[in-house]
Amino acid sequence: MNRIKPDSQLKAVTDFLAQLRKHIGLSFGAEKRYLVESRLSPLAQKAGFTNVHDLLIQLNTSVVGELHWQCFETMTTQETQFFRDGFFFETLRKEILPALIQKRQGEKKLKIWSAAVSTGQEAYSLAIFLEEQFPELKSWKIQILATDVSDKALQVAQRGEYEIQDLERGLSPAQITRFFTKGPVDFQIAPWLREAIQFQKINLISAWPAESSWDLILMRNVLIYFDQSTKNKVLEKVSQALAADEGTLVLGSSETLIDFPKLVRRSAARGFFYQRQSVEA
């Protein structure tokens, strides 16, 4: 049995990571070789390859197709949960949404985009949150767009079916009872909540929705996986997509923007959010 040379292994990983960055923006150094091995190993076995190295050679020497995209999606981080980072929702409740609601009283419309939504928990948390905390918005037109690059994750999100342990990570028993029904195997989100959200596949480094003037864009724990050049390109598109009048961007708790003048940092009770300059400024 021929052993794979270390330099051949490294080149295969490096070439694959270059493709990953080119096609979905994720930037990992070659030191993340273990991550490639661990995440792609089950897929390599399922696809009939002897090992991950043989899979990478196939990917690196063929035209990008379905297998490539399966691997790209497998490399994304899909960690999420209901009401992840409670202080973020407190900032929404106390600062961001009251200001936006006051600004939009005339038209009674709000447009919210949850980007990189994974298996849907953030989008459903938003819908539950608005129902519980802002009942006055029932007469408003609320648009919630939830997007991700992964078809597999979006399929889970669109079904809105979760195991009880998924629900218990962030939801109270009362919320589970109110917003979910028990199915034969899993719990399913109430149909009226599922219908309140539009799910769509969007690659953040490719074309974006034709719509603009988003009042709130959630892009939490996404940009940390992009290099600075890709991050700046995404932020440029964010600045154009946000509503000119106090459109707001929220990032993850560990993320911050430095030296991006088109988005102004605002301090919250805990953390920061970012806005386009008000048209009145």
Q: At which residue do the structure tokens 């195997």 appear? A: 185
pLDDT for the residue numbered 12:
92
CA distances in angstroms from 31 to 36, 227, 244, 248, 257, listed in the order given: 10, 15, 41, 35, 25
pLDDT for the residue numbered 1:
39
Residues of the chain with CATH 3.40.50.150: 86-275
Contact indicator for 38, 22 with CB cutoff of 8 Å:
no
Whole-number Å distance between alpha carbons of 187 and 166: 10
Amino acid sitting at position 219: M
Residue 276: its H or E element: none
pLDDT for the residue numbered 253:
82
Contact indicator for 264, 276 with CB cutoff of 8 Å:
yes
Average pLDDT per 10 consecutive residues for the chain, totaling 281 residues = 64 94 90 88 94 95 95 90 93 95 95 96 97 96 96 95 94 97 90 95 90 93 91 93 92 82 86 75 43
pLDDT for the residue numbered 30:
74
Buried b (16+ CB within 10 A) or exposed e, 119-150: bbbbbbbbbbebbeebeebeebebbbbbbbbb
CATH number belonging to the domain at 86-275, selected among 1.20.1250.20, 3.40.50.150, 3.40.350.10, 3.90.1150.10: 3.40.50.150
pLDDT for the residue numbered 281:
43
Contact indicator for 27, 227 with CB cutoff of 8 Å:
yes
